[in-house]
Each structure stands twice: as structure tokens, then as C-alpha cells.
Structure 1
Amino acid sequence: MAEAADYVTSAVLIGAGATAVMDIWTMIRQRLLGSPSLDYGLVGRWLGHLARGRLRHDQIAASPPLRDERLIGWSAHYLIGIVFAGVLLAIFGLDWARNPTIGPALMVGIGSVAAPFLVMQPAMGAGIAASRTPHPAAARLHSLVTHAVFGGGLYLGGWLTHLVLR
């Protein structure tokens, strides 16, 4: 039972930390490059409509707004980060959390870009891997770099969690 608690605690701390690192990167990228960040309110709108049975939108921004969509979107953003940390721990075990290495963290972080490319972007009207956006190659590159930063955040989160739970 203690191992299950360690697993959950580690996943929450590592995932929330990695997601925060990704958010800090997004703010830096926005200030330095003028790149817009994802509106998590639109993610909440998509999830809210999904709960009502609608998976796909031509343009999520044109879909009717929902109450608390920003809170839903931001909560989902952090929950998804925690789930990917859980995936990392499920694949590489709690031993990874006790002695984090960069390779597995980057593998999961970069691999996590499949979720927006294959699920969220198509469902929100942007097409597979942002193919329906004005600048698909730039959008893909930003997503890939951001998810690599998330992988770095998993690694950093692993070390910070290791120090806290030691």
C-alpha cells in the first residue's frame, strides 16, 4: 500500500511540476518570440462539449462558450500532466523517481505531443498535427519544443520530488 501512495504522490508532484515548467516556457516563448499560447479556456470548452456528446468542432472558438471553461481547461491541463507523469512511472517504475534520468523523461515528454497532434487539435478544428492552421509547420515545431520542455520538466520534477520524499 505504501508503494501505491508513493506512486500517486510522485506522479502528482512530478506531473504538476513538469506542467508548471511547460507553462513558464510558454510565457517566456510568448514574451521573446511573440508566439501565442494555447487558450486553456478553449480546451475547457472542448471538454465541456465532449461531456455533452460532441467530440469534434470545425472551430472550437466559434462553439458556444461554457460556464467555467477556463477553470475546466486549466484543471485538465494539470491533470493531463499528472497522467503523463503516471505513464512515465508506470513504464519506468518508482526506481526512476528515486534516481531520475533524462532519457525516459524526454521520451515521455516528446511522446506526449501525440495527444494534441492526434486528438485535441483535430477535435478542436485545427486538423491532424495543426494541418488546418495558418502556419502548420510553425505550430508543429512549437508543440514539439513545448513537449520536449515538458520532458525536461518531468526530469526536473523527478529530482525535486526525490529530494522532497527522500
Structure 2
Amino acid sequence: MGTLLIAGLAIGLGGTIAMDIWALALNRLLGMPLPNWGNVGRWVAHLRHGTVFHNAISEATPVPRETVIGWVFHYVVGLVYGVIFVAIAGADWLAAPTFFPAWIFAIVTIGAGWFLLHPGLGLGWALSKTDTPWKNRCFGLMAHTSFGIGLWLTALII
């Protein structure tokens, strides 16, 4: 059990790092903005007051260290996802990791963003209130694909 937990944490970390490298590459190569973890941190901080959904998170009261809170939340979610994936995939997958299960899991995890985080930030269900929802959804799917690649590659390494 302990070995599976450590492996899950490791691959969750690897997946999250891969996702961040993808975002950095898009920023450097295409000029796309980096994720705003400060807004996520503000959203997380407001959860303790019972506020899940905002019309616009930018209009919510700022909180101290919201960017740090957002980054920590981002990595904690990645670690938790890694542990959940290993619990589902099991020791047999860890012994011989394949890409497809990691990718499917990573794509499924976008649901938390589309149906909880994004509406919570005021961006609408599945980014429906953004100027280019389908473009943003596609980039989200690519980001989660990079998470799946990171899960798989980290599993291969360990």
C-alpha cells in the first residue's frame, strides 16, 4: 500500500510538472498567457466562507498570498489525481505502464475544471462565458493530455 501511495504521488507530481512545462512552452512559443494561479488561489480561499461560484473571481475580495495558495492547490490536485489513478490502475499497470489508461484518466479529470473550477471563477460551465470557449476547451484538453503524458512517463521512469 505504501509503495502504491508513493508511486501515485510521484506520477501525480510528474504529470503536474509536464502540464506546467506545456503551459510554459505555449507561452514562449505562441505567446499564450500563463495560467493565473492567483485567481485560483482567491477562489480556494473564498471556499472557506462557503462561496463556490463567483460572477467574476477578479471582482472577489483579494486574499493574502493568493498566488501561492493557487500554486499549492494546483500541485495538491495533481498529487491527489496521481494517487487516485494508481489506485484505479493498480500495481499491474505500474509494473508495465501504458499510455492509453493514463491519457483517458487525464482527460476525465478536466471535468473538475469544466464543471467546478471554471464556473467557480465565473467563466461558465466548460468555459462557456469566455470569448472563445471551444478554443479554450481544446487547449484544456491538450493541457490534460500533457498531464497524462507526464503520468505515463513518470511511471516508466520509476
* TM-score (norm: length of structure 1): 0.91
2:155 matches 1:158: yes
Matched residue count = 158
Identical pairs, percent: 37
**1:24 matched residue in structure 2:** 21
Match of 2:54, as an amino acid? H
2:100 matches 1:103: yes
Q: Which runs of 5+ in 2 are unaligned?
A: none
Shift of 1:98: 2.2
Note the alpha carbon deviations across 1:53-94, whole angstroms, 9 max, x for none. 111111111211111211111111111111111121111102
Superposition map of 1:14-163 within 5 A: 14-161=11-158
Match of 2:153, as an amino acid? L
CA distance in 2, matches of 1:76, 1:8: 19
**1:164 matched residue in structure 2:** none
Moved more, 74-83 or 31-40: 31-40
SS at match of 1:67: coil
Match of 2:90, as an amino acid? G
Match of 1:150, as an amino acid? F
* TM-score (norm: length of structure 2): 0.96
Match of 1:8, as an amino acid? L
Match of 2:62, as an amino acid? P
SS at match of 1:58: coil
Q: Which runs of 5+ in 1 are unaligned?
A: 162-166
CA distance in 2, matches of 1:97, 1:75: 26
Match of 1:148, as an amino acid? T
